[in-house]
Structure 1
Amino acid sequence: MKATVTIDIGTTRIKLGYFDARGNQLASEKQLTPNTTDAWGVVYDVDTLLALIVRFLKNLDEGHRRSVERVAIAGVGESGGLVGPDLQLRSPMILWHDQRGAALIERLGREDRERAYRLTGLPVNANYSLSKIAWAVEHLEHRAAGLKWLNVSEFVAAVMTGERWAELSLASRTMALDLRERVWSKSMCEMVGVDPEVLPELCSARQGRRLTADFAQRVGLPTEVTVHVVGHDHMVGAVGADLRPGEILNSTGTTEGVLLLRDAPSLDENSYKAMLANGIACDASAYTLFASIPTGGSAFATLQRMLGMSESMLETCVSALSERYLSGGINLSAIPIVVPRFRGSPPPEKSSTARGVIANLSSDVSAEDIVFGCFLGLAIQFRKVVELFRAGTSVTKVIGPASENRLWLHLKADVLGADLSVSKFPEVVSRGAQALASAERTDWAACRPTVVEADPKRHRDLEEWHQGIQPTIQSLGALTW
């Protein structure tokens, strides 16, 4: 491996790290991802974001700084902003879940939506960048030549190198890329009235650009360091997990991602109706099939607010519930139904306006019952999304914060009726970022995986409970659960 500084720009946190040439993480820092709101929605505070990165680089041990050969940047997809040739932002840097461009694609008819899926492998949705690009162009205060749309990771790379480019896996999340040809689609741009010239040169994760002399001097890095935009965070996690065909990656964070590798795009009627998202793998050697579950780890914050619990109180509650569950001390008949669509619904509905449900409450319901019901709901939601892939899989690999949550893991294994292979190394995305920037392959064993076994009796009990709540679910209307 090459000694690498890794930058992982997530929805909730930015993770910064230094990995030596043996792949050992010797320095790390986590900060809340800086964002703010404007008149339309949520945007990055890019000045604060860049300041966090510069401070981390400057504060690295001098010996570590001198050894750095690569800077590898991963992050959320679908975010971005318009950047001028002078590297100045000419629009807000918009977050992935911002819906300000929704009206520009809601008018698309069935034929356009089907054509969009055939071309890009993505279901038409305002989360993807194309609607944000159209919105940003439409709301420019001053027209200017040479503007390019950059994902937030690509923008950080541009500041470091003086060059603007788009990485393939992130480009495949824009709804503007011809998936098979791997070029920007003029047809998709025409659908929303965007000039294709606003889209930058395409590069793979392994194609790096050198730091500018000014930036290298500013942060104390060697001028020979190359900067790599390594891709969409969930896909970079697949590299860190050494995902193979026939395996499922469950990448957890603020959201949950479900990802499989494919030799070719999955553009059939089943994938289209299930609203599964195709993409290009970070090393450009394969295609990905992906589903995003909007509510994952963010359920913690929702539970804290709803139940008036501090973070430590909720962690203690979850730990105690885990012990009770594994010892057979949970009375499932007392557990409320929690459909945790707190940030919208996953495929096949994929609606940003969907809302969660808590039902079957009795007079003696406790906060602990609701917490357990929420994690059970997350596990059921995960299973329903996995079933959309219609694929026989050998292994489910779990990475991210959920790997430390025994309750969530055991519920997930028991609901699936299948074992999980769970990483105990916390920064799998960063490990994948180093591997991509080094043009090397990592090993799942390096993530120190442990097996979470499904329990046949608990699986049967959960199936019986799930069948028993169906009359209540049906009374709630069109909800499928």
Structure 2
Amino acid sequence: MYSIGIDIGTTNCKICIFELPALNLITSYSFVTPKHTSQYGDDFDVIALYTQLEQGLINLITQLKHADRIKNIVIASVGESGVLIDQDQHVVGPAITWYDTRTKVNLAQVSKQFSQDEIYAITGIPIHSNYSLTKILWLKDNYQIDLTRVKWLCMAEFIAYRLSGEQRAELSLASRTLVLDLKRHQWSEKIQTAFGLNQVFVKFAQSGRNFATLNRDLAAKLGAIGQIEVAIGGHDHMCGSIAAGLKEREILNSTGTTEGLLLLMKDANFSQPFLRANLSNGVYVFDDLNTLYTSLPAAGYCIEWFKKTFAVDNQLFISLLDELTSKLIDIEYIKSHQSVFIPHLRGSGPPQRNIAAQALWYGFNENTRKQDALLTLFQGLCFELRNTLESVEQLTESYHPIIKVIGAASKNPLWLQLKADILGREILSCNIPEAVCKGAVMLAAKQNGYIEQLDCYDGEIDTQSYKPNQQLKQHYDQIYQHYYKPIFDLKMKIELCDKEGRLNER
């Protein structure tokens, strides 16, 4: 039998067909996530996205031998972003990308009704413009939407709805809305009432559990292949962690357009220190666990920015990576090409979160070459990750000698070795093709009884270990303490003063 995983990402969307129970990847299809820029900012083009997705499904399924053995389709996606659907089943207004900052104007509405402490005590996440609540308020204000006549669906939920005709929410995605009562696993009546959202949110389906079948129109296009069920896997980083075999108290570095650190916990943390560090709690997709999640807004995006800014095509990029990787054993080269990059191209992440933060590069001179700039970029991503990791470990009173890595970084030896050297930990690269799709399929297979257990697949994960070069570790420790941290702290202080100054002027 087969199961289909769908990953709706910031940069790319993917469809993967896996054979069960072996979880072999049979075939896949991907396309660039359609987006467009309006006068307001960046939006997902969800109509074009679904059109391409549906056509991809049709092509893959109709070409598959024994397509009648397909059991279900399960969808994972980015968090925060979504759409409003009216009573005629039409999308109302744009689907704002998770990183778009136009919704910062709505933060005052949220802060007027709730303090940071109050919101954190309910939702487990700090007030921020990325979350769904501010997007809904912005859409209401700018499109004169009657919130009693629309429903909100996060991206994976929207795709599931288009495939099945049934509207359901999912808890790991709801954790990124700023409206979920995290302790009760239900929509917060207090927050809904404060903003007139009592009819906006739909009831929940269990993560990975089939709740509907393909709609008639799509089923007709596929021909007589039997009944295909539909499930929502949830947040992409959470689904990817299943493929990596993440266990409670382990830590996962999930890399893509963003870069996240994910821990699985029995209990959420609502205390003041966690709030001050801007750490986000959530519901995991499995085993009644909670998540502690931190996200750095620009990781893979920094790489794309570098390629665009310095006119580096894929072939040259690979050549630069190979050249730099070979130089990591040359201590003198590393020491003589040291500069500091703070990668706040899309604002800063925890522990000092600021959507207005700007990137900073120290150490350019007339002799700086593209490969020098690329080395500095990857070092900067690793220093930023170290800063966040140390904050997480201090608060959770934990230490993780091994860090699992999935996503884009798992295929990048330069990035992986620099993580080991700068973080001073063993980096375990999990080479999992289409980890998000695979994790979503594994989740749905377990939840629907297609397989009995998940841990039997742990030994099949293709991993490679990267351990710190002790000489480089000592060098990077000094750079981190004497350059990165002071420059980071000064930059954040200047930006905070600038932000407060602008606020006072208003």
1:372 to 359, 370, 375: 375
2:413 counterpart letter in structure 1 = R
Q: CA deviation at 1:4?
A: 1.0
2:134 counterpart letter in structure 1 = S
Give % identity. Answer: 31
Where does residue 236 of structure 1 map in the other structure?
239
Where does residue 278 of structure 2 map in the other structure?
275
After TM superposition, the structure 1 stretch with the greater mean CA deviation from structure 2, 88-97 or 408-417, is: 88-97
Q: Size of the alignment, in residue pairs?
A: 478
Cα 1:177–1:467 change in 2 (3 A) is closer
> Is 1:266–1:278's contact at 8 Å kept on the other side of the alignment?
yes
Which string of whole-angstrom CA distances, capped at 9 and with x for unpartnered residues, describes residues 308-363 of structure 1?
Answer: 32232122112210111134462323322111111211112222221111112233
Cα 1:85–1:380 change in 2 (3 A) is same
What CA RMSD, in Å, does the superposition of the two structures yield over aligned residues?
Answer: 2.1
Where does residue 27 of structure 1 map in the other structure?
27
Where does residue 413 of structure 2 map in the other structure?
406
1:396 counterpart letter in structure 2 = I
When normalised by structure 1's length, the TM-score is 0.94
Cα 1:142–1:10 change in 2 (3 A) is closer
CA–CA separation in structure 2 for the residues paired with 1:64 and 1:136: 45
Aligned ranges for residues 43-442 of structure 1 at < 5 Å? 43-60=43-60, 61-107=63-109, 108=111, 112-141=115-144, 143=146, 146-191=149-194, 193-208=195-210, 209-220=212-223, 222-283=225-286, 285-328=288-331, 330-390=333-393, 391-439=398-446, 440-441=453-454
> Is 2:36–2:44's contact at 8 Å kept on the other side of the alignment?
yes
After TM superposition, the structure 1 stretch with the greater mean CA deviation from structure 2, 116-125 or 264-273, is: 264-273
Cα 1:110–1:379 change in 2 (3 A) is farther
Where does residue 504 of structure 2 map in the other structure?
none
> Is 1:246–1:395's contact at 8 Å kept on the other side of the alignment?
no
CA–CA separation in structure 2 for the residues paired with 1:343 and 1:242: 30
Q: CA deviation at 1:221?
A: 7.0
Cα 1:329–1:314 change in 2 (3 A) is farther
Where does residue 461 of structure 1 map in the other structure?
475
Q: Determine helix, strand or coil for the equivalent of 2:328.
A: helix
> Is 2:401–2:425's contact at 8 Å kept on the other side of the alignment?
no
> Is 1:338–1:370's contact at 8 Å kept on the other side of the alignment?
no
1:473 counterpart letter in structure 2 = I
Cα 1:253–1:142 change in 2 (3 A) is closer
Which string of whole-angstrom CA distances, capped at 9 and with x for unpartnered residues, describes residues 76-134 of structure 1?
Answer: 00001111344321222222112332222235169621110010000100101011112
Q: CA deviation at 1:394?
A: 4.8
Cα 1:213–1:381 change in 2 (3 A) is same
Q: Determine helix, strand or coil for the equivalent of 2:380.
A: helix
After TM superposition, the structure 1 stretch with the greater mean CA deviation from structure 2, 157-166 or 299-308, is: 299-308
> Is 1:43–1:93's contact at 8 Å kept on the other side of the alignment?
yes
> Is 2:15–2:57's contact at 8 Å kept on the other side of the alignment?
no
1:260 counterpart letter in structure 2 = L
Where does residue 452 of structure 1 map in the other structure?
466
Where does residue 450 of structure 2 map in the other structure?
none
CA–CA separation in structure 2 for the residues paired with 1:141 and 1:265: 37
After TM superposition, the structure 1 stretch with the greater mean CA deviation from structure 2, 121-130 or 420-429, is: 420-429
Cα 1:221–1:96 change in 2 (3 A) is farther
Which string of whole-angstrom CA distances, capped at 9 and with x for unpartnered residues, describes residues 146-187 of structure 1?
Answer: 421001211111111111010110011101000000110122
Q: Determine helix, strand or coil for the equivalent of 1:373.
A: helix
Q: CA deviation at 1:446?
A: 2.7
Q: Determine helix, strand or coil for the equivalent of 2:217.
A: helix
Where does residue 449 of structure 2 map in the other structure?
none
After TM superposition, the structure 1 stretch with the greater mean CA deviation from structure 2, 413-422 or 469-478, is: 469-478
When normalised by structure 2's length, the TM-score is 0.89
Q: Which runs of 5+ in 1 are unaligned?
A: none
Determine whether 1:15 maps to 2:14. Answer: yes
CA–CA separation in structure 1 for the residues paired with 2:158 and 2:264: 27
Cα 1:194–1:111 change in 2 (3 A) is closer
CA–CA separation in structure 1 for the residues paired with 2:66 and 2:7: 19
Q: CA deviation at 1:472?
A: 6.9
Q: CA deviation at 1:404?
A: 1.0
Cα 1:470–1:299 change in 2 (3 A) is closer
1:89 counterpart letter in structure 2 = V
CA–CA separation in structure 2 for the residues paired with 1:182 and 1:297: 32
CA–CA separation in structure 1 for the residues paired with 2:303 and 2:426: 24
Which string of whole-angstrom CA distances, capped at 9 and with x for unpartnered residues, describes residues 168-219 of structure 1?
Answer: 100111010000001101222244x232210111122133211122221123
> Is 2:249–2:264's contact at 8 Å kept on the other side of the alignment?
yes
Q: Which runs of 5+ in 2 are unaligned?
A: 447-452, 495-506
Q: Determine helix, strand or coil for the equivalent of 1:403.
A: helix
Q: CA deviation at 1:393?
A: 2.5
Cα 1:422–1:477 change in 2 (3 A) is closer
CA–CA separation in structure 2 for the residues paired with 1:230 and 1:13: 17
1:441 counterpart letter in structure 2 = L
Q: Determine helix, strand or coil for the equivalent of 1:87.
A: coil
CA–CA separation in structure 1 for the residues paired with 2:83 and 2:319: 41
> Is 2:147–2:197's contact at 8 Å kept on the other side of the alignment?
no
1:429 counterpart letter in structure 2 = V
Cα 1:221–1:29 change in 2 (3 A) is farther
Determine whether 1:37 maps to 2:37. Answer: yes
CA–CA separation in structure 1 for the residues paired with 2:365 and 2:224: 61
Cα 1:364–1:221 change in 2 (3 A) is farther
After TM superposition, the structure 1 stretch with the greater mean CA deviation from structure 2, 366-375 or 436-445, is: 436-445
> Is 1:12–1:32's contact at 8 Å kept on the other side of the alignment?
yes
> Is 1:54–1:219's contact at 8 Å kept on the other side of the alignment?
no
Q: Determine helix, strand or coil for the equivalent of 2:31.
A: strand
Cα 1:66–1:11 change in 2 (3 A) is same
After TM superposition, the structure 1 stretch with the greater mean CA deviation from structure 2, 43-52 or 126-135, is: 43-52
